[in-house]
Chains A and B, each alone.
Chain A
Amino acid sequence: DTGVSQDPRHKITKRGQNVTFRCDPISEHNRLYWYRQTLGQGPEFLTYFQNEAQLEKSRLLSDRFSAERPKGSFSTLEIQRTEQGDSAMYLCASSTNRVEQYFGPGTRLTVT
């Protein structure tokens, strides 16, 4: 396994700009998850895909957030009109039917 990869690792943007993050799961993992982690907190669930279907979304995922997994492989998370409160680490994880989720290194977003 090459592990879950995320790109970019760091992103600095100005308030009001749009940003997009990419996640490549472990190959053959059909489940993909997005979480957000702020300083001093544990990760908070955002959304979950099984193959290309988005099956679960958190209330944290406001209208400015959208996630896709068009071919059931990589996924993108877009944040429109970023706000300072969006500054966080965005974590991606993948899984098979074995239950445990394997996390990538995260994308650290700073909104100035």
Chain B
Amino acid sequence: AQSVAQPEDQVNVAEGNPLTVKCTYSVSGNPYLFWYVQYPNRGLQFLLKYITGDNLVKGSYGFEAEFNKSQTSFHLKKPSALVSDSALYFCAVRVPQGGSEKLVFGKGTKLTVNP
């Protein structure tokens, strides 16, 4: 069974500092990996994805993520955090082998950027 773990329920960083939100996954097969962000009372917004190729992927709003196959991780990063980055972040995985299109999400990490 596929699963995603976000080991930190909450991450606090100061504005201007780098941020990292951690994600590890467990799948059989080669995964597609995603990061989404959810602001209060709003739906999930797509940030970035990894399918194949370069392990470092860049996405919206200056976010990037690094795929590490040996550590089965896909951590989200940003060099300089903004207060407006404060939100709930979800990592998700999809295993396309077998034709499934469902996303399996982690429980989410609440990011707070302090001014």
- Chain B contacts of A93 at CB under 8 A? 44
Bound: A105/B45 CA distance, A: 10
Q: Can you offer 18 A-B residue contacts whose CB atoms are under 8 A? A: A31-B101, A33-B101, A33-B102, A41-B108, A45-B103, A48-B102, A55-B99, A56-B100, A91-B43, A99-B51, A99-B94, A100-B34, A100-B46, A100-B49, A103-B44, A105-B41, A105-B42, A105-B43
Interface set of B (CB-CB < 8 Å, partner A): 4, 32, 34, 36, 41-46, 49, 51, 90, 92, 94, 99-108
Are B103 and A99 closer than 8 Å at their CB atoms?
no
Bound: A24/B94 CA distance, A: 23
- Chain A contacts of B43 at CB under 8 A? 4, 91, 103-106
Interface set of A (CB-CB < 8 Å, partner B): 4, 31, 33, 35, 40-45, 48, 55-56, 58, 91, 93, 95, 99-106
B48 to chain A, nearest CB (A): 9
In the complex formed, the residue of A with least CB distance to B48 is: A100
Q: Quick one: which of A40, A42, A102, A104 contacts B92, CB cutoff 8 A?
A: A42
Are A103 and B36 closer than 8 Å at their CB atoms?
yes
A91-B101 CB under 8 A given contacts A99-B51, A100-B49: no
Bound: A99/B50 CA distance, A: 10
Most chain A CB within a 10 A radius of its CB, from B41, B102, B105, B106: B102
Q: Quick one: which of B32, B44, B102, B105 contacts A58, CB cutoff 8 A?
A: B102
Bound: A91/B34 CA distance, A: 17
Are B44 and A44 closer than 8 Å at their CB atoms?
no
A65 to chain B, nearest CB (A): 15
- Chain B contacts of A40 at CB under 8 A? 107-108
A43-B44 CB under 8 A given contacts A99-B51, A100-B49, A103-B36: yes
Q: Quick one: which of B49, B90, B101 contacts A42, CB cutoff 8 A?
A: B90
Are A101 and B105 closer than 8 Å at their CB atoms?
no
Q: Quick one: which of B45, B100, B101 contacts A103, CB cutoff 8 A?
A: B45
Q: Quick one: which of B42, B51, B105 contacts A44, CB cutoff 8 A?
A: B105
Bound: A31/B100 CA distance, A: 12
With A101-B46, A101-B103, A105-B43 given, can you name 10 additional A-B contacts, CB distance below 8 Å? A41-B107, A43-B103, A43-B105, A44-B105, A55-B99, A55-B101, A91-B44, A99-B51, A102-B46, A104-B43
